[in-house]
Amino acid sequence: MMWNLKNTWNIIVTTKIYLLALAIFSFFRVILFANEIDRIDHTVPVSDILYSFIMGIRFDIVISGYIILLPYLLFTIYHLFFRVHIFKKISFYWLFIFFSLAFLVASADIPYFKQFFARFSVTAFEWADSPAFVLKMIAEEPRYWLYIIPYIFSIVLFYKVLRKIVYTENNEPTKRKLWLKSSLSLLFLFIIFIGIRGRLDEKSPIRIGTAYFCNNPFLNQLGLNPNFTLIRSFLDQMKEENKPIVLMEDSLALANVQKYLNVKSINGEFPIQRTQQDIDSIPDSTNIVIVIMESMSAAKMGLHGNKDNLTPFLDSMARSGYYFENAYTAGIHTFNGIFSTIFSYPALFKQHPMKESAIHKYHGIATATKKRGYSSIYFTTHDGQFDNVEGFLLANDFEKVISKKDYPADKVKTTLGVPDDFMFEFAIPVLNKLHQKGKPFLSVFMTASDHGPYYIPEYFQPKNTEIKKQIVEYADFSLKKFIELSSLQPWYQNTLFVFIADHGAPLSALYDLSLDYNHAPLIFYQPNLIPEGKVFSKMAGQIDVYPSIMGLLKIPFDNNTLGINLFNEERPYIYFNADDKYGVIDQTWLLIVKRDHTGGLYKYSEKDLTNYEKQYPAMVKQMKEYAESNLQTFQYLVKKQKI
């Protein structure tokens, strides 16, 4: 006996409403595409254009799911239990009102995008202190009124079709097979929730960065739904950690930083920009490989006194290359490490620069090397959407991101994806293909094995018995395997390798801030360029990696960051962040400052627990001013889009 469609009336009606809403959202996306078609040239594949529209359907499903969820529940109650027509009426007006608002945003988004090259966000309501001013400005521009036409058309169409779907469908409830109908209804509810989440991967739901799949900035944004960006920007703005910091006046901070960085010629557009030119510049042909090592605290290395022989290979690399023994990460999170290493800006307490609703454009190492003809690629072991890394990097001139989706499924062992050594092994033929293009490449790796859940392949036999030590041994083994495999490739002798941690690990904590969490190895290794090892004791930061690479390779670039070239510049202190506090350090003193302005000054080099804050107020003032000037300057640059 055939299944009677009456038994799934609630599912059929909801599906039709979904399709209607998706069609109208797509209608506005087509208008936006037509309005911006001059941004598409002949080099853009048709497949990329089609994929951006498919991506758009994914985001439309998310927004539609939120709106449809309550009506679906009412339809289901009506269908299965109580034939009360008020449920239909409530559902109809709920759907019409909220979808009308959603379509209004989609309509307003078209001229907004034309003006700002960004999808609609909460900043649309911050153009002026007076809403009347904004409304008057819109009213006086005839072009804006044109977009009211498709909006009126869409809501009229939506009203008529929605009314027909809700009120004229055959919806006579049947009492037979209630258990089966209930099961199907629950299954469809689960599907709605999957649609709202936007992705099946367990690490991350759909994010703005999910839409970024290619190197065309317009197509990357075309797939977004403006309601999604509006809501996301509002929620991000409401978070305490995203509120701009105010540590001092912007003008004072800028003046101090210009002095610290020895900015001789002030650029009004980019106030801390320094142009690095080298008359002895070598040809831009040296490949750059940056390995950001998960949780690799300097305290895990034999060079820093660890007796467990956890990192014999990393220790040997430090002895063979240029090693900075007083290097510190910008923060204590992986996203801090990725961002600060690649873009040379500090961590600002709990702010997450890569997950902001509007993806900012930074002049990082991928942008600088792209101008010199480099290819660029980023490798991670797990889901590229975690921390919005993939979308953020694609929007900032990385040509490709290799993540869990690119590896064989049987090699994915945990939530963190593939083991480190497999990522490196997988990367070798990819880098060979880049080399065959006849131009240099930039490759950044983010390892993950030294982070729970731990996975150690059967073929690796650690010497220690404790899992947390075994995993460090395995991470070191993976690095060794990578260099050994690289040494067999034609590009090896012409490649600069840089090793830095994303952050350390709080192995010990004498003070309110664990130095082991920020103290990290920083190694520059290149057999031809660096014939013998050398240890540098000067203070260094993760934020100095990018300018130092460019300086070591003598590649001209405009340095608009807070990092310095460690090979010809010095800084009196380095500063770092730990969410609700920051530290400032030189080779003797550690200053800790909390958000509530408490803290202390310590002789950490002697492991002295005495707080010398009151004995050395001038030292406290100088160290605090140095750190806060840099942090406030970065906040200013982001706020004014001078990055």
pLDDT greater at residue 534 or residue 111: 534
| Structural domain includes residue 392 | yes
Tell me what pLDDT residue 350 has.
Answer: 75
Q: Please report which confidence band the pLDDT of residue 512 belongs to, taking 50, 70 and 90 as the band edges.
A: confident
Residues 100 and 228 in one domain: yes
pLDDT at position 140 over 60: no
Cα angle 524-525-531, degrees, rounded to a multiple of 5: 115
pLDDT at position 427 over 90: yes
Residues 307 and 166 in one domain: no
Q: With beta carbons less than 8 A apart as the criterion, state whether 562 and 279 touch.
A: no
Residues 62 and 200 in one domain: yes
pLDDT at position 129 over 60: no
Q: Please report which confidence band the pLDDT of residue 128 belongs to, taking 50, 70 and 90 as the band edges.
A: very low
Residues 330 and 465 in one domain: yes
Residues 432 and 514 in one domain: yes
Q: Which residues are CB-neighbours of 318 under 8 A, at least 6 positions away?
A: 301, 303, 521, 523, 533, 535
Burial (0-12, 13-18, 19+ Cβ within 10 Å), 103: buried
Final residue before a domain boundary, out of 532, 553, 579: 579
User: How many domains in the chain?
Assistant: 2
User: Please, what sign has the CA dihedral across residues 76, 79, 81, 86?
Assistant: positive
Measuring CA to CA, how many Å separate 210 from each of 18, 40, 84, 418? 21, 21, 41, 21
Tell me what pLDDT residue 172 has.
Answer: 55
Q: Which residues are CB-neighbours of 179 under 8 A, at least 6 positions away?
A: none
Tell me what pLDDT residue 175 has.
Answer: 56
Q: Please report which confidence band the pLDDT of residue 111 belongs to, taking 50, 70 and 90 as the band edges.
A: confident
Structure tokens at 6: 């009456």
Structure tokens at 508: 């010990």
| Structural domain includes residue 338 | yes
**Which of 239-248, 416-425, 567-576, 627-636 has the weakest average pLDDT?**
239-248
Q: Which domain holds residue 127?
A: 5-238
Question: Which pairing describes strands 400-402 and 441-446: parallel, antiparallel, or unpaired?
Answer: unpaired
Tell me what pLDDT residue 589 has.
Answer: 94
| Structural domain includes residue 257 | no
Residues 81 and 153 in one domain: yes
CA distance linking residue 238 with residue 122, whole number of Å:
11
What is the average per-residue pLDDT within 91-112?
Answer: 89
Residues 401 and 486 in one domain: yes
CA distance linking residue 394 with residue 215, whole number of Å:
6
Closest listed residue to residue 313, CA positions, set 517, 483, 532: 483
CA distance linking residue 611 with residue 592, whole number of Å:
10
Helix (H, G, I), strand (E, B) or coil at 380: strand
| Structural domain includes residue 303 | yes
| Structural domain includes residue 267 | no
Structure tokens at 517: 């969490």
Q: Please report which confidence band the pLDDT of residue 1 belongs to, taking 50, 70 and 90 as the band edges.
A: very low
Residues 150 and 284 in one domain: no
Tell me what pLDDT residue 311 has.
Answer: 95
pTM above 0.75, yes or no: yes
Final residue before a domain boundary, out of 579, 595, 610: 579
Q: Please report which confidence band the pLDDT of residue 8 belongs to, taking 50, 70 and 90 as the band edges.
A: confident
| Residue 461: CATH number of its domain | 3.40.720.10
pLDDT at position 43 over 80: yes
Closest listed residue to residue 228, CA positions, set 392, 365, 358: 358
Tell me what pLDDT residue 2 has.
Answer: 43
What is the average per-residue pLDDT within 442-469?
Answer: 91
| Structural domain includes residue 621 | no
CA distance linking residue 269 with residue 272, whole number of Å:
9
| Structural domain includes residue 444 | yes
Final residue before a domain boundary, out of 579, 602, 636: 579
Q: Which helix (H) or strand (E) holds 379?
A: strand 375-380
Question: How does pLDDT run across 297-338, given as a tens digit for each residue?
Answer: 999 999 999 999 999 999 999 999 999 999 999 988 888 999
Secondary structure, 3-state, 338-362: HHHHHHCCCCCCCCCCCCCCCCCCC
Residues 413 and 492 in one domain: yes
Structure tokens at 193: 């929730």
pLDDT at position 599 over 60: yes
What do you get for the CA distance between the two ends of the chain, in Å? 67
Residues 232 and 302 in one domain: no
| Structural domain includes residue 255 | no
Asked if residue 453 has a cis previous peptide bond (ω within 30° of 0), the answer is yes
CA distance linking residue 534 with residue 537, whole number of Å:
10
Residues 233 and 294 in one domain: no
Residues 321 and 202 in one domain: no
Measuring CA to CA, how many Å separate 260 from each of 105, 253, 438? 46, 10, 40
Q: Which residues are CB-neighbours of 598 under 8 A, at least 6 positions away?
A: none
Residue with tokens 């929007």: 395
Mean pLDDT, the chain, whole residue set: 86
